[in-house]
């Protein structure tokens, strides 16, 4: 229990949006969501070290080797591994979903997808896997199609919100093919100057996210109320897309990077069973 409480505090600090969404889940499953989201956050950090691919893959392999032990109920002494083992035992989560998540992050180590199609596939493989597992925890697996659209939209929005951070470390978070086609000056982007060419790429990705949100909401009648906490990131995605739009899709605009917000809308949507 102490590990789970510590994990919840860590998630609150490092991924406050997901932490807040998880708080709308029943108390009995909240800790399992913390474990799942904490695992995803931990693996995501591997990608951030992709400038040293060999080191990143060594770290990833540690988790691959740990998974059988985690599912056998004898996890290594690591707070996330121990918490994840408890969640797996409590909800009968499958190993395939976690392996798919590891594979998707492994592909990211070599750099972002080359084009928009690859970007959407990456979103589905990473965030889609996490959302599927969250729906299993919540007992809302009937909402998988809605979950897929919500997951893709949320991941794309998060990728756009991370452009400034990635650029500061001279990393490309967006498809190189799209950046080149739009005429983006990569060196200028690394210095925080994207201009209209970058804004056009951001607007295209934002449009993809909005299209997936529209698809998700078109299926709202098929969504069991139990699934709502896993789908609430759609509410926050809409908030962040609005900020990007008002900033003319400039990812370096401070208003587009502003964290938080949308809490009242989350509360209203959770109460109404919407996302």
Q: Tell the burial category of 57 from Cβ atoms under 10 Å away from its Cβ (0-12, 13-18, 19+).
A: middle
Token pair belonging to 264: 């009242």
Q: What are the residue ranges in the chain where pLDDT is below 70?
A: 1-5, 49-50
Nearest to 179 by CA among 150, 204, 216: 204
pLDDT of the residue at 261:
78
Residue 115 DSSP SS3: coil
pLDDT digits (tens, 9 = 90+) for 223-249: 999 999 999 999 999 999 999 999 999
Are 254 and 209 spatial neighbours (Cβ–Cβ below 8 Å)? no
Helix, strand, coil % (nearest 5) of the chain? 75, 0, 25
pLDDT digits (tens, 9 = 90+) for 88-98: 999 999 999 99
Are 207 and 265 spatial neighbours (Cβ–Cβ below 8 Å)? no
Domains, the chain, ranges and CATH? Answer: 1-111 (no CATH), 114-259+267-275 (1.10.600.10)
């Amino acid at each position: 229990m102490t590990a789970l409480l510590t994990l919840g505090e860590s998630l609150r600090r490092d991924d406050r949006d997901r932490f807040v969404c998880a708080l709308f889940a029943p108390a009995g499953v909240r800790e399992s969501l913390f474990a799942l989201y904490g695992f995803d956050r931990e693996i995501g950090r591997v990608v951030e070290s992709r400038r040293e691919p060999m080191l990143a893959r060594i770290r990833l392999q540690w988790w691959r080797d740990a998974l059988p032990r985690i599912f056998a109920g004898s996890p290594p002494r690591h707070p996330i591994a121990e918490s994840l083992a408890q969640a797996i035992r409590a909800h009968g989560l499958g190993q395939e979903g976690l392996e798919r998540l590891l594979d998707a992050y492994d592909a990211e180590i070599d750099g972002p997808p080359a084009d928009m199609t690859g970007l959407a596939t990456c979103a589905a493989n990473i965030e889609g896997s996490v959302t599927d597992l969250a729906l299993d925890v919540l007992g809302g697996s009937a909402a998988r199609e809605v979950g897929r659209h919500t997951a893709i939209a949320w991941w794309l929005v998060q990728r756009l919100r991370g452009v400034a951070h990635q650029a500061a470390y001279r990393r490309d978070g967006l498809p190189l093919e799209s950046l080149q086609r739009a005429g983006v000056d990569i060196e200028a982007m690394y210095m925080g100057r994207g201009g209209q060419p970058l804004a056009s790429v951001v607007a295209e990705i934002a449009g993809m996210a909005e299209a997936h949100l529209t698809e998700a909401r078109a299926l709202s009648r098929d969504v069991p109320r139990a699934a709502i906490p896993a789908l609430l990131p759609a509410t926050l995605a809409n908030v962040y897309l609005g900020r990007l739009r008002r900033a003319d899709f400039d990812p370096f605009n401070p208003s587009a990077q502003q964290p938080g917000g949308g809490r009242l809308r989350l509360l209203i949507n959770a109460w109404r069973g919407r996302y």
